[in-house]
């Protein structure tokens, strides 16, 4: 028996069914796939991209904006909280979605949920937790909310035509297309959305750092925003593993993954590990499930129990250890095997002028500056327009007040009320608007006090109008307004970083060797200009003669030290190579010593510029550049817990390095320029940086063709009048040496 063929759908062609375009239930028509995409799919895709999933330059998706604007119109910036259900219901006037979707949006914006670095909604009740999938939020009828104080910055001057207002979905209300935010909220709070064919995932940054970077960019379009913005800052805290060059590339392109790991403490009394901060991208339950899975499979034999001890004080995952377990080694295993270490996938996809664009941090800030500039202009223009209209009315009133008896006579002798305004226009040469205003003045206001106040208002208005016109014509004044607002926001709402920054090269790996203990004894270290290094014991040094060097070479550094110290060799290619004194064999004066570029495997053409010797990485590295700038870097920035030999970007590369100097504490130095000018610099006036490749700050002003030539420690008494070479303000030109200071000396470069 042959198998039955499946029943085919009945296809009615257009010639058979002239009303084929009017489809009924179960009817099927032939349609080109291109036509289906154009008429059905593309409008849906565009609607999701433009009106649902992607944020705009103000940092909000439409659902966020509609909710916050509704709360603003309800007067929830001040006063007490109200039931969330009330807010959700009112939001439906702008947002044609179900109450569950609207309430979920509110939950994520609320302080209680801890999903945002700077929450916009002040909440009361159970709003769940972003770090837990099991701690669900309570229904809207049980919770209460109002706007946080920082939300004031979202709506400042919104009533002054700073942004466009459009009809809501049923044209019964007006709503803003964007919010006139006074700070770059697009970067301050994380934002995630999945559209059709594209998505966005924007990480959050510290408010103070973002404001500082924005101010720097407003002042100088070439400003390096990563001088201020060190790394993202997540609401859940944790540790961000930073590889500076890789992170810079991610934040410049707007795509890439940033690794985050949990924070923990070891409770010695109870022999357990308490995890109190986890990556923003995972849940506490996922971590516990993975640990249990690995423990049952035998991969984590050191663990006896794991449990969730989260309470009102915050997140806490407790791991009980078996006796003799090394907690740090166990955590290294857990970081690799569980979501205790995870990555945040960046995708900075933002709607700019209705077009989705993947931008870097600097480009986003530039777009925000352009947006905010337009908001400020519109606000000033709005105030200017109102002031000009008021001035126009008062100028008409001024003409009337100069001859009030004439005005009263005109009104009294006019037979019909409708003729009062035309007669005033004719009698005083004013227009209809001015005449209407004058005609409405009460009789009680026709006194000297009222007249004098109105005349004073005219002068004040003229001054204000001139000032506002000057603002509109001056880019610099608009920039100053934006900068002042950013400083105000930063001072009011800035908070310390939640996410700790650790450098990837400082993280120990299991396979790395333990640093062996070395014998410590005194010795003298020698370094030659060509890069030969030797260490000689005091006994050998007493018995030796002149130090041997290659022809044309010379000893440039002699320093008493010990065998347990560490060495940092800074090179001409902005790199530093690390070694221990103990890595080199004891030498003699009759030997050339070890050739550092070969021993430490320098890159081709790389030479030693400076050698620092330390044992505790305390103090500062000072880098002096030919352009007169000086960089002061915390020595701790070069400390690593591993045996890593090479660190890139050890100092700034914008200008050639003159010399480097390691100082334990601040001191005074003498800087000499090619012009012969000298400057005494106290290093205490330079703020230290943790970023190794900082370009530094201007200290000595260099005219065209000049450069910094040399740096040396200042010796008390070497100048007859040292105050000549000191200055209160930096950068400074310095002073040419006086005859007293050059007497008996021959200056040479």
Q: What is the DSSP track for 460-491?
A: HHHHHHHHHHHHHT-HHHHHHHHHHHHHHHHH
In angstroms, the Cα distances linking 637 to 476, 506, 651, 660 are 37, 10, 11, 15
For strand 708-713 and strand 646-647, is the pairing parallel, antiparallel, or unpaired?
Answer: unpaired
Catalytic annotation present for 142: yes
Q: Where are the beta strands (DSSP E) in 436-571?
A: 500-503, 522-528, 532-536, 555-562, 566-571
Would you give the distance in Å from CA 471 to the centre of its chain?
28
Residue 415 is classified by DSSP as S
For the chain, how big is the Rg over CA atoms in Å? 36
Contact 642, 697 (CB under 8 A): no
Of 41, 69, 72, 142, which one is the catalytic site residue? 142
For strand 500-503 and strand 239-242, is the pairing parallel, antiparallel, or unpaired?
Answer: parallel
**Is the sign of the CA dihedral 621, 578, 503, 346 positive or negative?**
positive
Instruction: Tell me the three state secondary structure of residue 391.
Output: helix
In angstroms, the Cα distances linking 733 to 200, 676, 683, 718, 747 are 50, 11, 17, 20, 19
242: its two tokens = 């930073």
Length of the chain: 749
Burial of 455 (0-12, 13-18, 19+ CB in 10 A): middle
d(Cα 158, Cα 164) in Å, to the nearest integer?
9
Residue 2 is classified by DSSP as P
Query: What dihedral angle (degrees, nearest 10) is formed by the CA atoms of 615, 616, 617, 619?
Result: -110
Which are the catalytic amino acids?
A: 142
């Amino acid at each position: 028996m042959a198998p039955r063929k499946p029943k085919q759908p009945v296809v009615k062609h257009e010639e058979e069914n002239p009303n084929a375009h009017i489809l009924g239930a179960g009817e099927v028509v032939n349609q080109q796939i291109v036509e289906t995409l154009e008429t059905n799919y593309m409008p849906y895709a565009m609607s999701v991209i433009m009106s649902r999933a992607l944020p705009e330059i103000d940092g909000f998706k439409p659902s966020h904006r509609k909710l916050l604007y509704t709360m603003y119109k309800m007067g929830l910036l001040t006063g007490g909280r109200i039931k969330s259900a009330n807010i959700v219901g009112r939001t439906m006037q702008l947002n044609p979605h179900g109450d569950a979707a609207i309430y979920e949006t509110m939950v994520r914006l609320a302080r209680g949920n801890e999903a945002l670095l700077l929450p916009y909604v002040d909440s009361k009740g159970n709003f769940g937790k972003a770090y837990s999938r099991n701690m669900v939020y309570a229904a809207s009828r049980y919770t209460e909310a109002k706007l946080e104080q920082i939300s004031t910055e979202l709506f400042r001057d919104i009533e002054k035509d700073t942004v466009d207002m459009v009809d809501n979905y049923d044209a019964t209300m007006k709503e803003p297309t964007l919010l006139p935010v006074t700070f770059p909220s697009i970067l301050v709070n994380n934002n995630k959305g999945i559209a059709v064919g594209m998505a966005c995932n924007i990480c959050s940054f510290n408010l103070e750092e973002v404001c500082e970077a924005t101010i720097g960019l407003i002042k100088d379009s070439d400003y390096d925003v990563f001088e201020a913005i060190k790394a993202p800052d997540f609401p859940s805290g944790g540790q961000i593993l930073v590889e500076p060059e890789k992170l810079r590339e991610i934040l410049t392109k707007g795509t890439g993954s940033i690794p985050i790991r949990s924070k923990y403490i070891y409770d010695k009394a109870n022999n357990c590990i308490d995890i109190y901060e986890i990556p923003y991208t995972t849940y506490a339950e996922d971590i516990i499930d993975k640990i249990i899975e690995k423990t049952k499979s035998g991969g984590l034999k050191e663990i006896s129990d794991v449990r969730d001890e989260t309470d009102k004080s915050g997140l806490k995952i407790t791991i009980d250890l078996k006796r003799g377990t090394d907690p740090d080694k166990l955590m290294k295993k857990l970081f690799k095997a569980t979501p205790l270490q995870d990555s945040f996938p960046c995708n900075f996809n933002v709607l700019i002028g209705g077009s989705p664009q993947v931008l870097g941090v600097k480009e986003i800030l530039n777009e925000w500056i352009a947006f905010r500039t337009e908001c400020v202009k519109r606000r000033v223009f709005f105030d200017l327009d109102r002031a000009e209209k008021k001035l126009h009315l008062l100028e008409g009133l001024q003409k009337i007040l100069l001859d009030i008896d004439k005005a009263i006579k005109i009104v009294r002798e006019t037979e019909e009320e409708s003729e009062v305004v035309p007669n005033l226009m004719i009698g005083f040469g004013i227009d209809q608007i001015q005449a209407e205003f004058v005609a409405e003045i009460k009789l009680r206001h026709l006194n000297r006090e009222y007249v004098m106040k109105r005349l004073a208002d005219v002068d004040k208005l003229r001054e204000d109008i001139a000032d506002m016109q000057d603002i509109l014509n001056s880019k610099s004044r608009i920039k100053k307004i934006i900068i002042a607002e950013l400083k105000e926001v930063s001072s009011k709402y800035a908070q310390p970083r939640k996410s700790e920054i650790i450098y990837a090269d400082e993280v120990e790996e299991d396979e790395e060797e333990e640093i062996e203990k070395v014998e410590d004894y005194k010795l003298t270290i020698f370094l030659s200009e060509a890069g030969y290094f030797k260490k000689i014991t005091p006994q050998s040094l007493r018995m030796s003669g002149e130090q041997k060097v290659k022809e044309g070479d010379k000893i440039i550094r002699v320093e008493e030290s010990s065998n347990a110290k560490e060495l940092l060799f800074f090179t001409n290619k902005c790199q530093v190579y690390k070694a221990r004194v103990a890595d080199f064999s004891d030498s003699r004066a009759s030997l050339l010593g070890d050739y550092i570029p070969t021993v430490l495997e320098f890159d081709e053409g790389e030479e030693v510029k400076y050698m620092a010797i330390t044992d505790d990485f305390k103090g500062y590295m000072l880098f002096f550049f030919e352009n007169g700038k000086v960089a002061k870097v915390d020595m701790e920035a070069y400390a690593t817990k591993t045996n890593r030999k090479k660190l890139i970007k050890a100092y700034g590369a914008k200008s050639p390095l003159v010399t480097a100097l390691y100082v334990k504490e601040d001191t005074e130095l003498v800087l000499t320029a090619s012009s012969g000018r000298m400057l005494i610099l106290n290093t205490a006036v330079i703020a230290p940086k943790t970023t190794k490749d900082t370009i530094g700050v201007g200290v000595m002003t260099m005219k065209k063709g000049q450069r910094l030539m040399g740096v040396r420690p200042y010796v008390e008494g070497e100048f007859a009048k040292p105050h000549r070479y000191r200055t209160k303000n930096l950068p400074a030109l310095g002073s040419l040496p006086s005859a007293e200071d050059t007497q008996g000396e021959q200056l040479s470069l």
